[in-house]
Chains A and B, each alone.
Chain A
Amino acid sequence: MDFDFLSRDFVHTATDAIDAFRQAIEEVEPPEEDLEALCEGITTFQHSPRIEEDFVVAGVDGSGEFPILQQDDVFMHFTVSAGSVFETCTRRQHKMTARTLPGLMYTGLINLSDHGEGLIQGYHCFLQDLIHCGLKELRDGSDYCEVFSAEGPKTIRPADVTWENAAFSRASQVGTHAYLIRSLAELGMGVRALASQPKYLLLDTSLVYFLLGESIYLPELLKRYLICKANAQGTGVLGLCKSHNIPNGDLLGRRAKEQYGAAHHWFIRLPSEALGEKRPTFLLDREVPPKLGVSYLFKFHEMSFPMRLDVDAQWWREHLAGDPENEKRLFEELDYTCHDVRSYGYPYPLQSAHRQASLTRQERKAVKDILLQHAQREGILRGAFMRSQEEIHQAGV
């Protein structure tokens, strides 16, 4: 960038932008009474180097290169998802030991095109490859139609859950498909991880349903399938969001510390409509807590920021409702998993899944090179256009 950072005009522009930013934040500052009401619900718990009973905990994460190959309006996406399953072992030095199970690493190549059935066919194959399921199985194995009809302006029948009715953007809108494919890969891995019968299944995402009641959206269908399956076996699906999306959520943390002396190891449950409670005014236009869900704002360690935890309302009713000790135990057990030095303050099963699924620059390049070699052998690549200008400059054509 050829730019003068020290120009007076730029400094003025920056100042104005920051003012606008501050105003935007202050506009959604929670009213004092809301803050007070929320903070009265602060619950503290003990730092948990030990737990009463060992349990199995799984974490999933995904990544990919979207797209990894492109020719005209045909896109090939590459996705990776990984699951990590651990068993806690309080009496041992390493505290958590990995369970080696088959199928906890998935790599998929998904071809999408706008031509004919190219898009639907791509997702159909992807789902089959990932969890050996089609839409029918997802529909029948979940409460999707029921909750869809209950939550939104529209109602659907099972027969309406078809590929044609599902909401898809065009294949050329690669950003949308990147999110969609990655979400499906992660949720699909979650389904796979349920085979290890974990007490908790950790997702590095929220449990929101933006389109529930409005459009049939594949990730939301799979999410319900996962949650229903998990609920049936007693597994709690926990959606962890490092970015809590609660306006001025730091004010809650500060108040917890200053007025209640809770600098760390605390949680607050946010009122949830799914439990028949009234949503706080400053959260009215947000998906916090999400539909069908219960959200907590919590903080484990002084050095970490408050995070949000979403759980399914049904699971909450079955396992936590009316039992403050169980609620506390959930956070103590989650805290226990956060003491691995590689991700202190963050559940290690998620970090481990992230490590396994994340792709380095070299790995992305290697996958790309393999595909390019095959593509060139098949004569379907024309020219050196798949390489970035920088690469071409560095390595030559």
Chain B
Amino acid sequence: MDYLGVLEVLGQEAFGVLAGASTSELVVYARNFDTSIGDLFLIPSDRGGERIYLFRMTQYANVLRREDDMDPMAKNLVAMDDPFYADDFERDKLLRLTGTLLGYSEYTQEQWVFRSPRKLPDHLSRVFKVGFGDEATIAAQEAVLAELLHAQLRGGIRVGSLLAGEMALQGVQVGIPGEYFAHHIGVFGRTGTGKSNNLMVMIEAIFQNNLHLLHTPQEEWERDDRIVSLFAIDPHDEFARWKPETNGGIAHIIEVMSPQDRAALVGDFFYLSCRPQENLDTDAVLNGRGRQCYLHRRDITPADLISIMEFTDIMSASAEAISDEHGEDWISAILNGQVEPDDRVIHRASLGAINRRLGFLAGTRSRLVPRATAYDSCLADIIIALERGRVLDVDTTMMTEIEQFLLTTIVARTIFALRKALKSSSTMEQLLGNEDTDGEIDRHLPLQESLKAQLRERLAAPDSPYRTGEQLKQITELPAVNIIVEEAPSILNPVRIKFGSVFRDISRQGRKFGIGLTVVSQQVSEIDNGILSQLNTEISMALGNEEERRAAVQTASNDIQPFRRELQVMSVGQAILSASYKNVPLPIQIREFF
């Protein structure tokens, strides 16, 4: 649709007229129709090129055409004896809208290109409100908007509809490209804003993205298309079933797939829980796709613990020294009293402190890391599943908070290390090593010998996710692995993100290796600035206080300052999507998952 085609769709009935335009603010006078903050307007203007400007209203006021000031009238209505205001001034009732220019689409070389707001529409341009008119008109407006903003909206993972005021434009879907799940995403919002629903919608969209790509020849994929794996921490155990009155969550999504698609996208399991396996096997909803989630002490390295709990430098050094001496059994050595303190690195006090930190693993206290002599862990299954492009729903209701953090950390660190090892290797042998030579896997995954033994077997197998025939895959051929970090401030705060935290490295280098974090938090300000600066996509929902809103504005990849007030009043499911790869922040309505 060209410029004149757009004008035809918009029609003759303008909503208002541009009164003032500056680079910081637009002023529009409009007719007295129902409107709301956040409404979107299209302003055609052909000064300098055929452009459609996109204006978002952030404030409006009732004004009268003739009277400059309604104050005296209002005062008189209060003060005089039985006064009234005759209803005869419909034509004089106007709205004064102010807001910002989000940008403009220019028709060049037979396509619309959206650009940042460096230009202004012409004087007294007519202004058209998106979502104003009958159903057919609105549908046509949505089609126009979708075309004008195509490059900004595109993305395989559809997270919501563009929000114009209070109206979700169903015909204008906003997506995040799969590639950007290998970067880092922030999901911010106070309690009750719909963060869980947002994640559920995102999970379904990831399934749809993966399914679409599965059935699309790779040469037809769009730029930034990528299969996405998700390690979804589920603190309320809701993603699998979702709410009782709904069709169901992931279990339902999977159930309606064809057996072939299910085999390709889900495999043996999608649900991880600390519940006993027999319990999971008899859960009708899971239909045999639940897997007991447990790790072994040998999966844990000092870096994992340093990343999630308070460790002084001396304690860290002691832990490292103990793991050097006892290898992957370093935790058992400490808990079993097999470590002797010395005066050099392993001070008695430090050892005692480490012992106390490890208390949650002692005896039968931990469901996640049960006491077991022989190596038995589902970590390798998790890693391989993620490398195959799976969505894993991790029920953490039966884990303590520290166990939840520990699991997230170990999975993130392990897959990060494996990807680094893969990138350093050109052959499978170089990656895995042989009887005589260590492989890159040994260099990047110190300790964890038991895990590596399992991984070597799985990665060398003919159906290895790292193998295309005899060739090792490139990182870019592997799925984008995204790991959800729930209650992010607990492990991504400035104190914890110090030298030695696995998340510090992942946040900085993860995208090179196709690993991204989804940082979920009620507070932005409590998260380490280094982590925040690495976010490429932010989904900002209503936030609780001024400090958080300020932090969200500072963190956003686009300028969302004009949305700042709305961060206070947005309804459930409404959010501002900002991304470094989009020219404009987009208000979205995340649909209620049903």
Question: What is the distance, in angstroms, from A355's C-beta to the closest C-beta of chain B?
Answer: 7
Q: A341-B73, A344-B76 are in contact. Are A47 and B82 (CB under 8 A)?
A: yes
Query: A339: which B residues are within 8 A, CB to CB?
Result: 80-84
Among A86, A95, A342, A355, residue most surrounded by chain B Cβ atoms (within 10 Å): A342
- List the B residue with the shortest CB-CB distance to A340: B86
Q: CA separation between A339 and B86, bound complex, in Å?
A: 9
A interface: dominant SS: mixed
- List the B residue with the shortest CB-CB distance to A93: B84
Query: B84: which A residues are within 8 A, CB to CB?
Result: 93-96, 339-341
Q: CA separation between A92 and B87, bound complex, in Å?
A: 10
Interface presence of A152 (CB below 8 A) = no
Among A92, A301, A341, A355, residue most surrounded by chain B Cβ atoms (within 10 Å): A341
B interface: dominant SS: loop
Contact pattern, B 75-115, Cβ under 8 Å of A = 1, otherwise 0: 01100111111111110000000000000000000000000
Interface presence of B66 (CB below 8 A) = yes
The count of residues in chain A whose C-beta lies closer than 8 Å to any C-beta of chain B is 20
**Do residues A341 and B82 form an inter-chain contact, with CB atoms below 8 A?**
no
Query: A86: which B residues are within 8 A, CB to CB?
Result: 86, 88
Query: A98: which B residues are within 8 A, CB to CB?
Result: 86-90
**Do residues A341 and B87 form an inter-chain contact, with CB atoms below 8 A?**
no
Q: CA separation between A304 and B83, bound complex, in Å?
A: 15
**Do residues A340 and B66 form an inter-chain contact, with CB atoms below 8 A?**
no
Q: A94-B87, A96-B88, A98-B88 are in contact. Are A341 and B77 (CB under 8 A)?
A: yes
Interface presence of A206 (CB below 8 A) = no
**Do residues B82 and A49 form an inter-chain contact, with CB atoms below 8 A?**
yes
**Do residues A47 and B81 form an inter-chain contact, with CB atoms below 8 A?**
yes
**Do residues A342 and B73 form an inter-chain contact, with CB atoms below 8 A?**
yes
**Do residues B81 and A95 form an inter-chain contact, with CB atoms below 8 A?**
no
Query: A84: which B residues are within 8 A, CB to CB?
Result: 88
**Do residues B86 and A95 form an inter-chain contact, with CB atoms below 8 A?**
yes
- List the B residue with the shortest CB-CB distance to A95: B84
Contact pattern, A 267-282, Cβ under 8 Å of B = 1, otherwise 0: 0000000000000000
The B48-93 residues at the A interface (CB cut-off 8 A) are 66, 73, 76-77, 80-90
The A342-362 residues at the B interface (CB cut-off 8 A) are 342, 344, 348, 352, 355
- Among the listed B76, B81, B82, B88, which residue makes an inter-chain contact with A352, where contact means beta carbons less than 8 Å apart? B88
Query: A94: which B residues are within 8 A, CB to CB?
Result: 84-87
Question: What is the distance, in angstroms, from B68's C-beta to the closest C-beta of chain A?
Answer: 13
Query: B89: which A residues are within 8 A, CB to CB?
Result: 98
Interface presence of A376 (CB below 8 A) = no
Q: CA separation between A355 and B193, bound complex, in Å?
A: 50
Q: CA separation between A49 and B73, bound complex, in Å?
A: 18
Question: What is the distance, in angstroms, from A218's C-beta to the closest C-beta of chain B?
Answer: 31
Interface presence of A97 (CB below 8 A) = yes
Contact pattern, A 322-354, Cβ under 8 Å of B = 1, otherwise 0: 000000000000000001111010001000100
Query: A348: which B residues are within 8 A, CB to CB?
Result: 86
The A95-151 residues at the B interface (CB cut-off 8 A) are 95-98
Question: What is the distance, in angstroms, from B21's C-beta to the closest C-beta of chain A?
Answer: 23
Query: A95: which B residues are within 8 A, CB to CB?
Result: 84-86
Query: A340: which B residues are within 8 A, CB to CB?
Result: 83-86
Q: CA separation between A84 and B86, bound complex, in Å?
A: 11
Question: What is the distance, in angstroms, from A72's C-beta to the closest C-beta of chain B?
Answer: 38
Question: What is the distance, in angstroms, from A263's C-beta to the closest C-beta of chain B?
Answer: 13
- List the B residue with the shortest CB-CB distance to A97: B87
Question: What is the distance, in angstroms, from B530's C-beta to the closest C-beta of chain A?
Answer: 58
Q: CA separation between A344 and B81, bound complex, in Å?
A: 9
- List the A residue with the shortest CB-CB distance to B75: A341
Query: A49: which B residues are within 8 A, CB to CB?
Result: 81-82
Question: What is the distance, in angstroms, from A118's C-beta to the closest C-beta of chain B?
Answer: 38
- List the A residue with the shortest CB-CB distance to B80: A344
**Do residues B85 and A341 form an inter-chain contact, with CB atoms below 8 A?**
yes
Query: A96: which B residues are within 8 A, CB to CB?
Result: 84, 86-88
Query: A352: which B residues are within 8 A, CB to CB?
Result: 86, 88
Q: CA separation between A98 and B90, bound complex, in Å?
A: 9
Q: CA separation between A169 and B127, bound complex, in Å?
A: 52
Question: What is the distance, in angstroms, from B532's C-beta to the closest C-beta of chain A?
Answer: 51
Question: What is the distance, in angstroms, from B28's C-beta to the closest C-beta of chain A?
Answer: 22
Q: CA separation between A348 and B89, bound complex, in Å?
A: 12
- Among the listed B66, B76, B88, which residue makes an inter-chain contact with A341, where contact means beta carbons less than 8 Å apart? B76
Contact pattern, B 396-412, Cβ under 8 Å of A = 1, otherwise 0: 00000000000000000
Q: CA separation between A92 and B66, bound complex, in Å?
A: 24
Q: CA separation between A317 and B89, bound complex, in Å?
A: 37
Among B73, B83, B86, B89, residue most surrounded by chain A Cβ atoms (within 10 Å): B86
The A34-58 residues at the B interface (CB cut-off 8 A) are 47, 49
Q: CA separation between A47 and B81, bound complex, in Å?
A: 9
The A58-101 residues at the B interface (CB cut-off 8 A) are 84, 86, 92-98
Query: A97: which B residues are within 8 A, CB to CB?
Result: 86-88
Question: What is the distance, in angstroms, from A349's C-beta to the closest C-beta of chain B?
Answer: 8
Q: CA separation between A199 and B139, bound complex, in Å?
A: 48
Question: What is the distance, in angstroms, from B459's C-beta to the closest C-beta of chain A?
Answer: 76
Q: CA separation between A342 and B77, bound complex, in Å?
A: 9
- List the B residue with the shortest CB-CB distance to A341: B76
Contact pattern, A 282-322, Cβ under 8 Å of B = 1, otherwise 0: 00000000000000000001000000000000000000000
Query: B88: which A residues are within 8 A, CB to CB?
Result: 84, 86, 96-98, 352
Query: B87: which A residues are within 8 A, CB to CB?
Result: 92, 94, 96-98
Question: What is the distance, in angstroms, from A86's C-beta to the closest C-beta of chain B?
Answer: 6
Q: CA separation between A348 and B85, bound complex, in Å?
A: 9
Q: CA separation between A120 and B463, bound complex, in Å?
A: 106
- List the B residue with the shortest CB-CB distance to A49: B82
Query: A93: which B residues are within 8 A, CB to CB?
Result: 84
Query: A301: which B residues are within 8 A, CB to CB?
Result: 81
- List the A residue with the shortest CB-CB distance to B84: A95
Query: B77: which A residues are within 8 A, CB to CB?
Result: 341
Q: CA separation between A352 and B85, bound complex, in Å?
A: 11
Q: CA separation between A344 and B86, bound complex, in Å?
A: 12
Contact pattern, B 192-229, Cβ under 8 Å of A = 1, otherwise 0: 00000000000000000000000000000000000000
- List the B residue with the shortest CB-CB distance to A356: B88
- List the A residue with the shortest CB-CB distance to B88: A98
- List the A residue with the shortest CB-CB distance to B81: A47
Question: What is the distance, in angstroms, from B74's C-beta to the closest C-beta of chain A?
Answer: 8
Query: B81: which A residues are within 8 A, CB to CB?
Result: 47, 49, 301, 339
- List the A residue with the shortest CB-CB distance to B74: A341
Among A94, A96, A98, A340, residue most surrounded by chain B Cβ atoms (within 10 Å): A340
Question: What is the distance, in angstroms, from B10's C-beta to the closest C-beta of chain A?
Answer: 28
Question: What is the distance, in angstroms, from A140's C-beta to the closest C-beta of chain B?
Answer: 35
Q: CA separation between A117 and B82, bound complex, in Å?
A: 55
Q: CA separation between A50 and B90, bound complex, in Å?
A: 24
- List the A residue with the shortest CB-CB distance to B82: A49
Q: CA separation between A97 and B87, bound complex, in Å?
A: 5
Question: What is the distance, in angstroms, from B343's C-beta to the closest C-beta of chain A?
Answer: 88
Q: CA separation between A301 and B79, bound complex, in Å?
A: 14
- List the B residue with the shortest CB-CB distance to A84: B88
Q: CA separation between A92 and B85, bound complex, in Å?
A: 11
Question: What is the distance, in angstroms, from B203's C-beta to the closest C-beta of chain A?
Answer: 51
**Do residues A344 and B85 form an inter-chain contact, with CB atoms below 8 A?**
no
6 shortest A-B CB distances, which residue pairs?
Answer: A98-B88, A49-B82, A95-B84, A341-B76, A96-B86, A94-B87
Query: Could you jot down 7 A-B contacts, CB within 8 Å?
Result: A84-B88, A86-B88, A95-B84, A98-B88, A339-B83, A341-B73, A341-B84
Q: Which residues of B contact A (CB under 8 A)?
A: 66, 73, 76-77, 80-90
If A93-B84, A94-B84, A341-B83 are given as contacts, then 18 extra A-B residue pairs at C-beta distance below 8 Å, sorted by A number, are: A47-B81, A94-B86, A94-B87, A96-B87, A97-B86, A97-B87, A98-B89, A98-B90, A339-B82, A339-B84, A340-B83, A340-B84, A341-B73, A341-B76, A341-B80, A344-B76, A352-B86, A355-B66
